[in-house]
Amino acid sequence: MAIIRPPPAYDYTIKPLNRNLEAMARQLYDYWFVQFDFPDENGKPYKSSGGKMVWNEKIKHEIPEGWSDTTLGIFCNMYQPKTIGTNGETGACWDSMGGIKQCRNLHFRAGRQD
């Protein structure tokens, strides 16, 4: 029985690229959803440019005005991954590819849902 290894180029090109992309995603998440410095309507960082923040009692934290705490299930039909079946109400088929099916279109601008 042979063990298949990826070509050496994988270790030297793809792995570092993946690490860089992961670091960039973490930094973007931190700026937008921890520091709330996503671009405002003028392209400036929201919170550090004076964007209005309001206290959210449920999560005990300030959040940008117009935001709320909710779950993704409010916007998307969710199901348990690896479950195969149909929705009796709508007849929609579920597949085993992931946990989200049929999200309605959402448009976000400066952290607010339009």
**Residue 87 banded pLDDT, cuts 50, 70, 90:** low
Residues 6+ apart with CB under 8 A from 108: 114
What is this structure's pTM?
Answer: 0.52
If asked whether residues 18 and 52 sit together in one domain, one would say yes
Residue 48 and residue 37 in contact, taking contact as beta carbons nearer than 8 Å: yes
Per residue in 45-62, pLDDT (tens digit) is 999 999 999 999 998 999
Residue 78 and residue 87 in contact, taking contact as beta carbons nearer than 8 Å: no
Per residue in 63-84, pLDDT (tens digit) is 999 998 887 777 777 666 554 4
If asked whether residues 59 and 75 sit together in one domain, one would say no
Is residue 2 in a domain?
no
Residue carrying the six token digits 């601008």:
109
Domain that holds residue 30: 7-69
Q: What is the pLDDT of residue 100?
A: 54
